[in-house]
Amino acid sequence: MRQRAGNWIVLLLANLYLASPVVHDLGLTASDGRGIDKISLFAVPASVLWLALVQCLFRRQWLAHAVLFPFYVATAFDLFLVLRYDTRLSSSSISMILENLRLVPDFIRAQALPLIVATAVLLVLFAAAVFAGRNLVIRSRRPMLISLAGLAVLYGGLLAYRTRATGSLREAVGEIVVHDRNSPFGVLPQGYVAYRVYRDALEHERRAASFSFGATRPQAPAGPELYVLVVGESSRRDHWSLYGYGRETTPRLARQSNLVVLQDMVTQAALTQISVPLMITRAGIEDPDARANEKSIVAAFREAGFLTYWLSTQQRDHFTGAINRYSGEADHTWFLDRRHDGALIDSLKEFAARAPGEKLFFVLHTQGSHFVFKDRYPASSARFSGAAGDRDALIEQYDNSIVYTDEVLARLISWLETRPGLAGLFYVADHGENLYDDGRQLFGHFLNNEYDMPVPALLWMSDAWAQAHPEMREAARTNASRKLNTRVVFSTLADLAGIRIRGMDVSKLSVFSPGLSPGTRLFRKRDRLVDFDEWRAANVPPRSASRADLAE
């Protein structure tokens, strides 16, 4: 009897090992003072129920764990990523592995000893589980039925909830697949998502293989350079105190020198998967597929001799569309799923330290003010609290997310100021957000209206850059009050680094150019191309009853 109890304890320990990576997700959110999020709350019972079902299904426990061997290996790799890189075996990390399979032999050689030790521990644990289960049999069908019922309630309830929220069964299924991070079986949906991303990236690479911008630098300065594009998320400028908002949400940026605040920027589409590709390529909303075989600003910098990096706190999945293709153009990509945006600064500094004296270009794709707002900042960064009603509490959380964006950008600029050589930064949000602003009670984005189209945008240049290009700095200051849309991002970044594109005059769309000619600010409304300024003049009162006034 004692031996039998000991065998069950061994199997319990083996199951705890298989489910252990979810502890990372639990700790990640709890350590930030924001409690345990919904993904973690889902992953823990899903892990337990799936493991119980498999072992009840095979009944003989040695056979169940023999079948589970591939998941023992997947769990080991998941734990390696947690311990070494503070991330999970998600669609983002799996897609990066697929794109860098050629580097696997080098990785194995570099990590030979840890891999040997980890493999030995894994095999000992697996052998112990199989040996302990050799005489153990689950004879009752009741545990299997309970597990099945639990999974049906868990997944069925979530599916019903998300179908109601999204209005689409297909979209709800897709969301569950993307966010299912149970251990160890979450590797299956995450692997499926990664494969879709990888397949799309391969197709883009095939179509764009022969494309070249012919990017050159006629007057490349000596010494190191570092330029950064920060892509904001769901941020609207009328909640930034830099733009006159009554609450002090951006005090740190307000104290920065060499900061040019672009006063009237609008996005081309209030949806990330459309707006970001239009931002970083030469395509426009009037025909977003016209340049489908071209590459992005990342490739232009790479052609011009820069080491390029794409760092993101957004998960890499099929919902983000073409963004995945362009992130793969960078020399180095890194995804810090479900981390606060400050982690991007730590990674940027680490990568920059590995390439002293080089010319570097970074894209930082942030979570910014993406819903759920309270999950976008650590509790220590919350500035506003105590709202009486649900709507006011929502606004407080949204404003706190902007306070944290201010903190992250100011921290990045402060670090850039200490670096030798030329440096510059361009921040622009992908779109804004509706926040129950008026009688229509609209929430979210992709409504393409006066709340989710206008976005904050700003330029920062180091003293060394400003001294080297005084006329460009003055042009930017002059152009800061002009009506702009995100079509200017590509050319402005190229001009910032002195990059010239074959067959293209970047000065026409560069904020640094006296010859800037941004043109009509088009967007789509009910499948029609519409002039944003004409639409706003005809449809928006001079002063909308906006929640942005609440702090005034």
Tens-digit pLDDT profile for residues 86-145: 788 888 888 878 877 777 787 788 788 888 888 998 999 999 999 999 999 999 999 999
**What is the pTM for the complete model shown?**
0.85
Tell me the domain boundaries of the chain: 2-203, 223-544
Report the alpha-carbon angle 494-304-516, nearest 5. Answer: 15
SS3 415: helix
pLDDT for the residue numbered 34: 56
Half-sphere exposure of 236 (CA within 13 A, CB side): 24
pLDDT (0 to 100) of residue 518: 94
Q: Which of 524, 515, 465, 470 is nearest to 491 (CA)?
A: 515
Domain spanning 223-544: CATH 3.30.930.10: no
CA distance 426 to 540: 29
100-111, pLDDT tens digit by residue?
777 778 778 878
Sign of the CA dihedral running 514, 519, 523, 525: positive
pLDDT tens digits along 419-465 = 999 999 999 999 999 999 999 999 999 999 999 999 999 999 999 99
Sign of CA dihedral 117, 118, 122, 125: positive
pLDDT of residue 218 exceeding 50: yes
Q: How far is CA 280 from the centre of its chain?
A: 15
The structure tokens listed for 56 are 């009840």
Does residue 477 surpass a pLDDT of 60?
yes
Nearest to 13 by CA among 164, 105, 126: 126
Mean pLDDT throughout 191-220? 89
The segment with the largest mean pLDDT, out of 32-41, 296-305, 328-337, is: 296-305
pLDDT in tens, 491-534: 999 999 999 999 999 999 999 999 999 999 999 988 899 999 99
Give residue-wise pLDDT tens across range 7-55: 999 999 999 999 999 988 777 666 655 556 677 788 999 999 999 999 9
Average pLDDT, the chain: 91
